[in-house]
Amino acid sequence: METKKISVGYSFSKHDEKGYFVDEEFVNENPDCWEIIKFLSDNPFVTQKEICERFNFSKDELIEKNKKIREADWTRDYIINAGTGSKYWKNTIIPTIQSGKAKSVLDEKYAYPDRVGLCPGLSCNFFCSFCGRNYSAAYERELGEKGFEMFKQIIDQTPKEVDKEKVYHITGGLEPLTFPRIGDLITHGEKAGFTMELQTSGFFLTPEFIKKHPGIKDLSILRFSLYGIDNESTVEVTKNKKAYDVVKENLIDYLKLKTKTKLGLNYVILHKRTKDVLKLLDFIEEVNIKSNNQVDFLTLREDFREGAENILGEERKEIYNIFNDIQKRLESKNLNKLHIDYGYALESIRKNQNSYQQPLKKVDYKQLRPKIFPQIAVMVDPKGDVYAYHEATFLDREGSERYSIGVVDKEHSMEDIVKEFVENSDGITEPLPHDVDYLDAFDYVITVFLNQVEEDIKFGIPWSKGPIKVESE
């Protein structure tokens, strides 16, 4: 008998427009397995013990059901892509398993980081209300040349097996465009075969700046961080009265260059300001018209900081409707090339207004991992300090020096630093309550995931006996 395939009925943006199918015969014969599949698709961080408790399975029963799910040819695609947890599955969990880096972390074995953030900025002219930096701190100008040689060293010593398309990105810390050799750093990375990405406020990126630093045009990806949709809201966040107009003009001027660079924007959706997202599309459309070009992508994020007012309840339903309006707006001829990335938590709202009642999955300080996970991600400042968490990289941030795992210099490579920390250090054995401030969204998700995998191993159902078949590279 021919197996009937039925659509599960989810709707997707035109940038990812495909249906997800279930094997009706499998579902009819294995209704418990189907319930597990659906649950996992929406709840990527549920432990195997929690599944047993929820569905009243014994451990052996769940192992057997996992085996049936793992051996079917369609279930992996459904779990990873169809539900509200898809961003967690696709962007972080599955790649971390496939790369073998999760195993390296759990086994406390060395591996070169998947992601290395280069943070060359020496100062910043914004005083953003959400920023964790020490507003009075700045690096000495002399670090420009020393820092350039150090960053070059990191790039030149990269192991051959590293994925050149995703390993390096230039970001903060402080504003990267304040680094005097920023164009040369970009060009050096590109010539070495790496995909170079720059994240910036865009304030200094004037036509004159680009002429002085032509390497900017060698970027593969350039992302402007927008802090408001008009002058008033931008000043409120940045305390810079010129920020909105200057950044807008710089964005238009860069688009007019029509470089090879994919250019995008990042915007954080704030509590009680959800409707600003629609005004953001007006902003992008105006920029596109004036430049006779188009912004390539928009990353939308939720404010996950400790103490931030999260988007919950009725406001989540409101933003679900707003996201539907956004998809309709993308049919405009001036927005039809725009790809929108909703990030971890917002993607769940986009697919289902009743999804997660809490925003980004987080941990408290007692759940932080002593050895952290430098095999997966690190950040490097102009002095060569390697930080294990993204938000610890800010200069003179109180307590953050505890999360510096070593210093890259002429005698010590990135490989040396990570290997020494992983194999010979006890790590941070006594985390403090404020240490969670050093984590960004990615750090939170990785921590939750690694803790989950560890719990599954202790319970007796490791990943190899789980429902998803994923082979390490």
Where do the CATH 3.20.20.70 domains begin and end in the chain? Answer: 109-365
Please check whether residue 389 is in contact with residue 372, taking contact to mean a CB–CB distance below 8 angstroms. Answer: yes
Specify whether domain 109-365 bears CATH 1.10.150.120: no
Cα 71 from Cα 49, distance rounded (Å): 21
What pLDDT is stored for residue 348 in this prediction? Answer: 78
Please check whether residue 418 is in contact with residue 375, taking contact to mean a CB–CB distance below 8 angstroms. Answer: yes
Cα 169 from Cα 191, distance rounded (Å): 15
What pLDDT is stored for residue 2 in this prediction? Answer: 41
What pLDDT is stored for residue 245 in this prediction? Answer: 94
Cα dihedral across residues 339, 341, 347, 349: positive or negative: negative
Residue 31's contacts (CB-CB under 8 Å, 6 or more residues apart) are none
Q: What is the pLDDT along the chain (473 residues), one digit of tens a residue?
A: 343 443 443 333 322 334 688 899 999 999 999 999 999 998 999 999 999 999 999 999 999 999 999 999 899 999 999 888 888 898 899 999 999 999 999 999 999 999 999 999 887 776 566 666 556 667 788 888 999 999 999 999 999 999 999 999 999 878 999 999 999 999 999 999 999 999 999 999 999 999 999 999 999 999 998 988 888 887 777 777 888 999 999 999 999 999 999 999 999 887 777 888 899 999 999 999 999 999 999 999 887 766 666 667 777 778 888 888 998 999 989 999 999 998 887 887 787 756 544 556 788 999 999 999 999 999 999 999 999 999 898 888 888 999 999 999 999 999 999 999 999 999 999 999 999 999 988 999 999 999 999 999 999 999 999 999 887 54
Pairing of strands 5-7, 21-23: antiparallel
What pLDDT is stored for residue 472 in this prediction? Answer: 59
What pLDDT is stored for residue 129 in this prediction? Answer: 61
Concatenated DSSP letters for 106-132?
A: HHT-----SEEEE------S---TT--
**Residue whose entry in the numeric block shows the structure tokens 């009819």:** 28
What pLDDT is stored for residue 131 in this prediction? Answer: 61
Cα 265 from Cα 222, distance rounded (Å): 8
Residue 78's contacts (CB-CB under 8 Å, 6 or more residues apart) are 8, 20, 21, 22, 37, 41
The model carries a pTM of: 0.90
What pLDDT is stored for residue 113 in this prediction? Answer: 97
Cα dihedral across residues 409, 410, 415, 417: positive or negative: negative
What pLDDT is stored for residue 377 in this prediction? Answer: 97
Which of 228-263 are b and which e, b meaning 16 or more Cβ less than 10 Å from the residue's Cβ? Answer: bbeeebbbebbebeebbebbbbbbbebbeeebebeb
